[in-house]
Amino acid sequence: MSKSDILRSKAPLRISFGGGGTDVDPYRSTYGGCTLSTSIDKYAYVSCRPRKDNVIQARSLDFNIVAQYDTQQDFVMDGELDLAKAVIARLKQKRATRGFDLFMHTDAPPGSGLGSSSTMVVALVNVFKEYYRRPLTSYEIAAMAYEIERVSLGLKGGMQDQYCATFGGFNFIEYLGDKVIVNPLRLAPATLLELQYNLILCYTGRTRQSAGIIDEQMAHVRSGDARAVDATHELKSLCVEMKNALLQGDLSGFGALLHQSWLAKKQIASKITNARIDKMYKEARRLGALGGKIVGAGGGGHLLLYAPFDRRHVINKKLASMGGQPIDFRFDFEGAVTWRAQE
Annotated catalytic sites, by residue?
161
Q: Please report the DSSP string for 178-220 in residue order.
A: TEEEEEE----HHHHHHHHHHEEEEE-S-----HHHHHHHHHH
182 near 173, Cβ under 8 Å?
Answer: yes
Rg (Cα) of the chain, in Å, rounded?
Answer: 20
Amino acid at 19: G
Pairing of strands 100-106, 55-60: parallel
Phi-psi map region of 81: left, alpha, beta (phi>0 left; psi -120 to 50 alpha):
left
Q: What does the DSSP 8-state code read for residue 309?
A: G
Spatial CA neighbour of 305 closest among 198, 156, 190, 171:
198
- CA pair distance 229, 27, nearest whole angstrom: 8
- The sign of the CA dihedral 139, 141, 144, 149 is negative
Three-state secondary-structure class, residue 13: strand
- CA pair distance 193, 70, nearest whole angstrom: 49
Q: How many CA atoms lie within 13 A of 335 on its CB side?
A: 19
SS3 content of the chain, % helix, strand, coil (to 5): 40, 25, 35
Distance (Å) of CA 153 to CA 73, 76, 150:
18, 11, 6
124 near 80, Cβ under 8 Å?
Answer: no
Sheet of 302-306, strand order: 291-294, 302-306, 199-203, 325-327
